[in-house]
Chain A
Amino acid sequence: MSVAIAGVASRRRGERDWLTTAVIALALLTVPLWLPWVGGYTALASHVLVMGLVAMALNFLLGFTGVMSFGHAAYFGLGAYGTGLTLRYVSDSTMLALLAGILLGGIAGTVLGALIARRRGVYFAMVTIAFGQIFYYIAYSWNDFTGGYDGLRGFSRQPLQIGPLVIDIQNNGTLFYYFVLTVFAVSVALMAFILASPFGRTLLAIRENQRRARFLGIPVDRHIWLSFSISCFFAGTAGALYALLNNFADPTALHYSLSGEIVIMVVMGGMRAFWGPLVGAAVFVVLQDYVSSMTVNWMSFIGLMFVAVVLFFPRGLLGILRRRREA
Chain B
Amino acid sequence: MEVTIPPATGRGALINRRTLIKTGAALGALQLAAPNLISARGEAPIKLGWIDPLTGVLSILAVTEVEGAKLAVEQINAKGGVLGRQLQLLVEDSANDVGTGVQKAHKLIERDQVDAIFADVNSAIAYAVEGVTSDKKIFHIVPGGHTDPITGKDCKWNVFRICNTTAMDAAAITQTLVSKFGKKFFFITPDYAYGHTLQENFIKRLKALGGTYEADMLPINTADFSASLIKARAYKPNVLLNNMGGLAQIDCMKQFTQFGMQKDMALGGALFELESVLSLPPDAQTGWWDMEWWWDQPGVPHVAEFVAAVKKATGKPASARHWFGYVAIHSFRIAAEKAKSLEAIKLTRALENEVLPPEVALQPGNIAYRAGDHELMAGIFTGEVHPPKGDPANVFTVAAVVPGEQAAGTVEDTGCHMTYPS
Contacts and interface: CB of A to CB of B under 8 A. Distances in A.
Contacts of A138: none
B111 A250 contact: no
A148 B192 contact: yes
Interface size classification for chain A: 20 to 34
Nearest to A46: B106
A44 B111 contact: yes
Nearest to A291: B32
B124 A41 contact: no
Contacts of B409: none
Interface string B309-341: 000000000000000000000000000000000
B128 A153 contact: yes
B103 A296 contact: no
Contacts of B219: 140, 149
Interface in A265-308: 289-294, 296, 298-299, 308
B185 interface: no
A308 B29 CA distance: 14
A310 B110 CA distance: 34
B90 A153 contact: no
Interface in A34-51: 39-44, 47
A153 B111 contact: no
A2 to B, nearest CB: 31
Contacts of A289: 103, 107
Nearest to B127: A150
A248 B102 contact: yes
B99 A250 contact: yes
B99 A43 contact: no
A293 B104 CA distance: 9
B99 A41 contact: no
A247 interface: yes
A26 to B, nearest CB: 23
Contact of A252 (B32, B98, B196): B98
A314 interface: no
Interface in A162-220: 173
A156 B110 contact: no
A248 B99 contact: yes
Interface string B85-107: 00000111101011100111011
Interface of A: 39-44, 47, 140, 143, 148-151, 153, 156, 173, 246-248, 250, 252-253, 289-294, 296, 298-299, 308, 312
Q: Which 9 A-B pairs have the closest CB atoms?
A: A41-B111, A149-B192, A150-B124, A41-B110, A43-B106, A296-B54, A150-B193, A250-B98, A151-B98
